[in-house]
Amino acid sequence: MKPGRTVPAPRTTGRAPSRAGAPAPPAEAEGAPLNPRRWHALAALAVGPFLSLFDQFCVNLAAPSINRSFTLSPFEFQAVVGGYSLVYGLGLITGGRLGDLFGRRRVYRLGLVLFAVTSLACALAWSPAVLIAARLAQGASAAVLQPQVLALIRVQFPPAERARALSWYGVSMSLGMICGQVLGGAIPSWNLLDLGWRPVFLVAVPLCAIAYAAIARTAPADRTPPAGQGIDGAGIALSTVGFALLLLPLAALREGGFLPAGPVLLCAAALLLTAFTGHQVRRGRKNRTVLLPVRFFRSRTFGLGVLLNFLLYMSSVPFAVMLGLYLQDESHLSPAAAGLVFTPAAVAIAVGSRVSPALQRRHGVRALVAAAALTAAGLAGALATVGLGTPDAVVLPLTVSFALYGLGNGMIVPLLTGVVLAQVPPRDAGAGSGVLSTAQQLGAAAGIAVIGAFLYPATAGAPLRYADAMAAGTALAVLGVLCAAFLAAAARRRPAAD
């Protein structure tokens, strides 16, 4: 399809309008011309997922340097490391819906400004309290920024091009995670201008400035949304508090603070999220704007895709954190050297993301199963290496195993994202991408809690149980393979929403 060519309007089906909320803005009307500079815009959009995950993972290896600078208490340490992820996960659905209501380019640029300012505040922090506040605000900024990327890809790229666009999204997202691990260890060791860990956060500032200017030149301006589209304040409150009560006990599990308050908080979370679901259904029946169109989950493909996304991050994120710990604690590598072990995985992720469109064209959704199997095989190889090898002879086998994981992960992210978002109408693309990203954060938090229970011994001072924890992560990845098989079967029977 040539740039600028108008997409023919589909024939009227006679179906009643959706009750998901207010009508779609004019910019998403059927028959709107394609953006001729959409591939240039994609380069600016890729900054969002890269930075969102870079700043989530860079602290894992920079944390010791930060701790030496401030002598953090255990609570402060956890807040610096995990506070970003907590707030980020809580705000993703709201951030996605804000883009649907007020314009995705506008909200994306706002997210870039907020992320640059909060990153600068992290770098300039003069006390633990200031750093914690800046990290929390940075997580909220990422929640505004990230969902707009998938939403803009969903509405700006036709189905024939979307797989290729999502492959670049997968590259940026996965490289953000890996580069965060690599540079989070390397930058503090370089001690640039005697600044220690602070340049880790300064990486975001120029990238945000470049993307802010580039997206204005390459993406069409948002049109004025129709009157009557308001914010679902009650929905935001119910979902935020509900997810907070769900995430906080999981975060406290490995610290031994789960019982007795944990089950109480989880029950409260279940009640609030049930109330949130009922609230969304009632608003939808009244044709009022909703935060999350519940009808998404009537699609088995959408539900299985969200579950697979959850399992993928539940297994892979804590596995990467464990591997970083193992290389430093058992193999006695420096943070910079431990970070470099992830470099082949970063290359493999980029390769996997770029080959995924060709695999999708050749094999369809069945490629999801192969990608999930590669991911599980890579984690199983790391488990076998740690279980059978000695700490001083595992670096090369672990590098190879994690590169195999990276190849599968790079393949599955764009494939899975495309399959799930194809079930979401363009007018709700922000909400759909928010759900997908929230599943990632919930999966990562749940994985760190569950796998952490296997990793940390019951007896104080006993060695960490890396093999047990890696076995748990591998088992979750195998469950992901089964989920991918069910998803592939469902997707072949379910038409896309294009």
Q: For position 253, what pLDDT does the model report?
A: 55
Q: Rounded CA gap, 151 and 168, in Å?
A: 14
Least confident piece of the model among 157-166, 249-258, 328-337, 455-464: 249-258
Question: How confident is residue 6, by pLDDT bands cut at 50, 70 and 90?
Answer: very low
Rounded to whole angstroms, how far apart are CA atoms 121 and 131? 8
DSSP 6: B
Nearest to 438 by CA among 136, 147, 150: 147
**Interatomic CA distance for residues 239 and 243, integer angstroms:** 6
What is the distance of C-alpha 395 from the center of its chain?
Answer: 28
Q: How far is CA 185 from CA 108, 116, 124, 270, 339, in A?
A: 29, 21, 19, 38, 6
Provide the pLDDT for residue 20. 39
Q: How high is the pLDDT of residue 460?
A: 67
- pLDDT tens, position by position, 426-453: 878 888 888 888 888 888 877 877 787 7
> d(Cα 46, Cα 208) in Å, to the nearest integer?
11
- Give the model confidence (pLDDT) of 213-256 as tens digits: 999 999 888 776 655 566 778 888 888 888 888 777 766 554 54
Supply φ then ψ for residue 6, to 5 degrees.
-80, 135
Reported as a single tens digit per residue, the pLDDT across 357-384 is 888 888 888 899 999 999 999 999 988 9
